[in-house]
Amino acid sequence: MYVAILGYGTVGAGVFDVLMKNKNIIAKRVGFPLDIKYVLDLRDFPGDPVEPYLTHDFRQIIEDPEVEIIVEVMGGIHPAYEFTKEALETGRSVCTSNKELVAVHGAEFVEIARSRKINFLFEASVGGGIPVIRQLIRSITADEVEEVCGILNGTTNYMMTMMRETGASFEDALKDAQAKGFAERNPAADIEGHDACRKIAILTSLAYARQVDYEDIYTEGIVGITDIDVLYAKAMKHGIKLLGRSYLKDGLVYAIVAPYMIRKKNPLYPVNGVYNAIMVRGNMLGDVVCYGMGAGKLPTASAVVSDVIDAAKHRHVNIPILWEREKMVLGARDDIENKFFVRVPIAEAAKAREIFPIAKEISILECESSEFAFVTQVMTEKEFREKAANLTVINRIRYEI
Amino acid sequence: MYVAILGYGTVGAGVFDVLMKNKNIIAKRVGFPLDIKYVLDLRDFPGDPVEPYLTHDFRQIIEDPEVEIIVEVMGGIHPAYEFTKEALETGRSVCTSNKELVAVHGAEFVEIARSRKINFLFEASVGGGIPVIRQLIRSITADEVEEVCGILNGTTNYMMTMMRETGASFEDALKDAQAKGFAERNPAADIEGHDACRKIAILTSLAYARQVDYEDIYTEGIVGITDIDVLYAKAMKHGIKLLGRSYLKDGLVYAIVAPYMIRKKNPLYPVNGVYNAIMVRGNMLGDVVCYGMGAGKLPTASAVVSDVIDAAKHRHVNIPILWEREKMVLGARDDIENKFFVRVPIAEAAKAREIFPIAKEISILECESSEFAFVTQVMTEKEFREKAANLTVINRIRYEI
């Protein structure tokens, strides 16, 4: 059975490596060998093992009837969308790591795959090597999903870990992440939360079998987090993590991406560095947390290849994925409930105590003469906003309930 | 489609509840409703919702052609073995939580199910609600498994957590676990490690697609762990956990069940109470850790029902599971490598320093005048045993490499 890989970037090269290095074990699991026939890339790679497989022309791939599985690891929407659609419509299963493509067009591709008795699979689009998509759609099937909550972006988790461990400023942590290759030169997608937002949109769509548009999810990145916030978190023995969350309440699904202060006993607390972790809460199961390398060449490639193996084992059989194209209307952002960690000038302490129902007060040496900091009781986003409008808020971070 | 449940104990009652409470969501995921037709139990349950379904006679179930899926949650080998075999041979899929049955007869049942185009599924036999079996056989398929390591027994983990948090003795922790219903009146299977042993036998069989007999796995329980050991662990900021481990080295698979001292940064370290966690290391993927309620009525039942759903969705289709009946010869126990934490009388300190390659020495206030305690370098079980024979070892605990 022949496979073509679209894109020889980091993940594409990883997929090439995994298919080559684990060839025998994969053949045993599939029942027959999987061979790479083409790798599409605009560049040449003289001397690279990929050379004999390289083509610059997608038509060569799509017109070769021997190609039954296409791996799309180019990223971006165009031409990934057109290539994927044509591949599916000509009866090829497609496996992708492209979260943007999946978040926007997943439901459409799932539908085409169903109608053609092939497969559109996207395990690697969320959580890199962590098999969270299969967990949601194939393991946690006896439960109503009450909540999905995860550390879905390794770059920002690396930065938050560094700020925590070294006291670095946000800017220094970002520079370090860029120097180590974890953050892009333009880091907006990571630090503004857009990457995590696409991922929680995909997970929420799968948990509730309906299209969730990522534009509808309130998203706040880590750009507002300072080293002073981290000092407060340390003083409380808490961590600050960028979370993607969605939960079901009274028949409505709410979703948000934002930094949260979490307690030491939260299972996501010890997840540091470029690791990702995802908690799924079922109404029968309780919490299941999965944790692993959320990015990186080989972990992501391993997840892509596990999909290739599934596609090969289900040659003319569609693996059912419930994901209707009809859009789900999310619960209003204003109604999302949180506690809040809040910092105001010390002169406003009395006023803050009057306005907010306060769960606890915190003081750190560095700011004890200048700031009043506290954690509120649980309140809605709207209530918080209205109350906070009466104060000079230095910063506020959501705080796990 | 009709389901019969064999056994209305804790898990059986949970399966009944999950199928009833999540009936609508399950019907949506399967594509048609799943109805309970019989529940087999020798007892009567007057007034219980199970009453209309209750039968005392297995023949009634097996002779009813409407029953397509049988849930075996009786536990023990007999008559679970005979019932399961007859169910499979008459074309019914069987879903079980019975780890003993799976460890001993899993390969045989997998083979029958394959030949009859039905399914023998056993997600709940390891790790309760944690979907580790699917992860091993259906998600981590692109990788060679290098290691499986888990906290596989909630009772002992509860006890170790209690000893750690309260300073309780082993005996008091056991009494408390019994009072809370976590430990049986006869706790041998848990505290001597047999339960964890059956589970790592199943996981190892699946990771390497061959039969691993649990009798071949060296198994040591937590019965030798004292409150003094826990004090040492605390002094080193380590934890003591009963681990089931298997790993691949130079083409041989090694397996062991024993308490280990693990470091704070080990992902299993924060797993406390009745929680279970399982780490799988793939050669491409790195480590994936899954964590959740490893036992309990509803989590275990949720896992059983997820198998029922899989069986229903694969009505005349066998989900391939690679598990040959041919027995795998494990690497010799003597060759397993660990560090060791060792306590000897203070009078033997000089001798111990001479005999052992020591990585670090530890002293606690309570024993500083009576004991010498240290952690060795990595050595084989055999090397350790030979060296330790020259000393009066008060206790020794394996120590993660």
Residues A323-344: tens digit of each pLDDT: 999 999 999 999 999 999 999 9
> Average pLDDT over chain B, rounded to whole?
97
> For residue range B172-230, what is the model confidence (pLDDT) as tens digits?
999 999 999 888 889 999 999 999 999 999 999 999 999 999 999 999 999 999 999 99
> For residue range A105-120, what is the model confidence (pLDDT) as tens digits?
999 999 999 999 999 9
| The architecture CATH gives domain B334-399 | 2-Layer Sandwich (3.30)
- The length of chain A in residues reads 401
User: Minimal CA–CA distance to B291: which of B279, B282, B300?
Assistant: B279
The verdict on a CB contact (< 8 Å) between B21 and A291 is: no
Minimal Cβ distance to A142: which of B26, B31, B286 = B26
**The domain over range A335-399 is classified in CATH as 1.20.1050.10:** no
Q: What is the mean pLDDT of residues A61-85?
A: 97
Q: What is the mean pLDDT of residues B381-400?
A: 98
- Taking the Cβ of residue B263 and every Cβ of chain A, the question of whether any pair is shorter than 8 Å is answered with no
Within 8 A of A304 by CB-CB distance, chain B residues are 142
Within 8 A of B292 by CB-CB distance, chain A residues are 285-289
Q: What is the mean pLDDT of residues A74-102?
A: 97
- Taking the Cβ of residue B299 and every Cβ of chain A, the question of whether any pair is shorter than 8 Å is answered with yes
DSSP letter (8 states) at residue A332: P
Task: Express as a percent the part of chain B with pLDDT over 90.
Answer: 97
> For residue range B229-284, what is the model confidence (pLDDT) as tens digits?
999 999 999 999 999 999 999 999 999 999 999 999 899 999 999 999 999 999 99
> Global pTM?
0.96
Residue B10 confidence class, pLDDT cut points 50, 70, 90: very high
- Taking the Cβ of residue A132 and every Cβ of chain B, the question of whether any pair is shorter than 8 Å is answered with no
Which residues 199-228 of B have a C-beta within 8 angstroms of A? 209
pLDDT value at position A58?
Answer: 98
CA distance, residue A162 to nearest chain B CA (Å)? 16
> For residue range A352-364, what is the model confidence (pLDDT) as tens digits?
999 999 999 999 9
Q: How far apart are CA A241 and CA A228, in angstroms?
A: 15
Structure tokens at A195: 């990457």
Residue numbers of A annotated as active site: 199
Q: Which residue of B has its CA nearest to A135?
A: B131
The verdict on a CB contact (< 8 Å) between B288 and A141 is: no
Minimal Cβ distance to A302: which of B17, B142, B299 = B142
CA distance, residue B373 to nearest chain A CA (Å)? 29
User: Residue A182 above 90 pLDDT?
Assistant: no
Active-site entry in B99, B199, B339, B387: B199
The verdict on a CB contact (< 8 Å) between A129 and B286 is: yes
pLDDT value at position A146?
Answer: 98
Measure the N-to-C terminal CA separation of chain B; round to a whole number of Å.
51
Within 8 A of B28 by CB-CB distance, chain A residues are 209, 322
Q: What is the mean pLDDT of residues B371-396?
A: 98
pLDDT value at position B40?
Answer: 98
Rounded to two decimals, the ipTM of the complex is 0.94
The verdict on a CB contact (< 8 Å) between A306 and B270 is: no
Residue A301 confidence class, pLDDT cut points 50, 70, 90: very high
Structure tokens at A331: 């619960």
Is pLDDT larger for residue B295 or for residue B8? B8
Within 8 A of B138 by CB-CB distance, chain A residues are 134, 138, 310
Query: Cα A274–A279–A282 angle (5° rounding)?
Result: 165
- Taking the Cβ of residue A310 and every Cβ of chain B, the question of whether any pair is shorter than 8 Å is answered with yes
Minimal Cβ distance to B141: which of A129, A292, A309 = A309
Q: Which residue of B has its CA nearest to A25?
A: B144
- Taking the Cβ of residue A288 and every Cβ of chain B, the question of whether any pair is shorter than 8 Å is answered with yes
Minimal Cβ distance to A144: which of B25, B135, B139 = B25
Residue B297 confidence class, pLDDT cut points 50, 70, 90: very high
Task: Express as a percent the part of chain A with pLDDT over 70.
Answer: 100
B133-293, which class in CATH?
alpha beta
Within 8 A of A97 by CB-CB distance, chain B residues are none
Q: What is the mean pLDDT of residues A164-188?
A: 94
pLDDT value at position B183?
Answer: 86
User: Residue B162 above 90 pLDDT?
Assistant: yes
The verdict on a CB contact (< 8 Å) between A286 and B309 is: no
Q: DSSP letters of A228-257?
A: HHHHHHHHTT-EEEEEEEEEEETTEEEEEE
CA distance, residue A262 to nearest chain B CA (Å)? 15
CA distance, residue B279 to nearest chain A CA (Å)? 9
The verdict on a CB contact (< 8 Å) between B286 and A292 is: yes
- Taking the Cβ of residue A117 and every Cβ of chain B, the question of whether any pair is shorter than 8 Å is answered with no
Residue A68: phi, psi to the nearest 5? -110, -20
Structure tokens at B90: 């008459």
pLDDT value at position B228?
Answer: 98
Within 8 A of A25 by CB-CB distance, chain B residues are 143-144
The verdict on a CB contact (< 8 Å) between B299 and A290 is: no
pLDDT value at position A294?
Answer: 83
Q: DSSP letters of B28-85?
A: HHHSS--EEEEEE-SS--TTSTTGGGEES-HHHHHT-TTEEEEEE---SSTTHHHHHH
Residue B138 confidence class, pLDDT cut points 50, 70, 90: very high
CA distance, residue A5 to nearest chain B CA (Å)? 16
Q: Which residue of B has its CA nearest to A288?
A: B292
> For residue range A372-384, what is the model confidence (pLDDT) as tens digits?
999 999 999 999 9
CATH number for B2-126+297-326 (one of 3.40.1390.30, 3.40.50.1860, 3.90.1170.40, 3.40.50.720): it is 3.40.50.720
Q: How far apart are CA B173 and CA A401, in angstroms?
A: 31
pLDDT value at position B401?
Answer: 85
- Taking the Cβ of residue A162 and every Cβ of chain B, the question of whether any pair is shorter than 8 Å is answered with no
Q: Which residue of B has its CA nearest to A209?
A: B29
Fold classification of A2-128+297-327 (topology level): Rossmann fold (3.40.50)
CA distance, residue A139 to nearest chain B CA (Å)? 6
- Taking the Cβ of residue B288 and every Cβ of chain A, the question of whether any pair is shorter than 8 Å is answered with yes
Strand partners, B95: B71, B121
Give a three-class secondary structure readout of B385-397. Answer: HHHHCCCCCCEEE
Q: Which residue of A has its CA nearest to B295?
A: A285
Within 8 A of B308 by CB-CB distance, chain A residues are 142
> Average pLDDT over chain A, rounded to whole?
97
pLDDT value at position A378?
Answer: 97
Q: What is the mean pLDDT of residues B280-295?
A: 94
Within 8 A of A129 by CB-CB distance, chain B residues are 282, 285-286, 288
Q: How far apart are CA A340 and CA A376, in angstroms?
A: 5
The verdict on a CB contact (< 8 Å) between B141 and A322 is: no
Other C-beta atoms closer than 10 Å to the C-beta of B101 total 25
- Taking the Cβ of residue A290 and every Cβ of chain B, the question of whether any pair is shorter than 8 Å is answered with yes
User: Residue A388 above 90 pLDDT?
Assistant: yes
User: Residue A272 above 90 pLDDT?
Assistant: yes
Domain boundaries, chain B: 2-126+297-326, 133-293, 334-399
Q: How far apart are CA A364 and CA A359, in angstroms?
A: 17
Contact B11, B124 (CB under 8 A): yes
Structure tokens at B301: 């039942």
Minimal Cβ distance to A22: which of B134, B143, B289 = B143
Which residues 323-362 of A have a C-beta within 8 angstroms of B? none
- The length of chain B in residues reads 401
Within 8 A of B123 by CB-CB distance, chain A residues are 139
Q: Which residue of A has its CA nearest to B304?
A: A142
pLDDT value at position A244?
Answer: 98
Contact A1, A68 (CB under 8 A): yes
- Taking the Cβ of residue A283 and every Cβ of chain B, the question of whether any pair is shorter than 8 Å is answered with yes
CA distance, residue B260 to nearest chain A CA (Å)? 20
**Could you give the C-alpha distances from A170 to A124, A157, A162, A196, B184, in angstroms and in order?**
28, 12, 9, 18, 52
The verdict on a CB contact (< 8 Å) between B288 and A131 is: yes
Helix, strand, or coil (residue B116)? helix
The verdict on a CB contact (< 8 Å) between A288 and B22 is: no
Q: Which residue of A has its CA nearest to B20?
A: A142
Minimal Cβ distance to B22: which of A21, A142, A303 = A142
Minimal Cβ distance to B298: which of A29, A267, A284 = A284
Q: Which residue of A has its CA nearest to B127?
A: A288
The verdict on a CB contact (< 8 Å) between A141 and B18 is: no
User: Minimal CA–CA distance to B252: which of B199, B339, B329?
Assistant: B329
Where residue B167 falls (left for φ over 0; alpha for ψ -120 to 50; beta otherwise) is left
Residue A276 confidence class, pLDDT cut points 50, 70, 90: very high
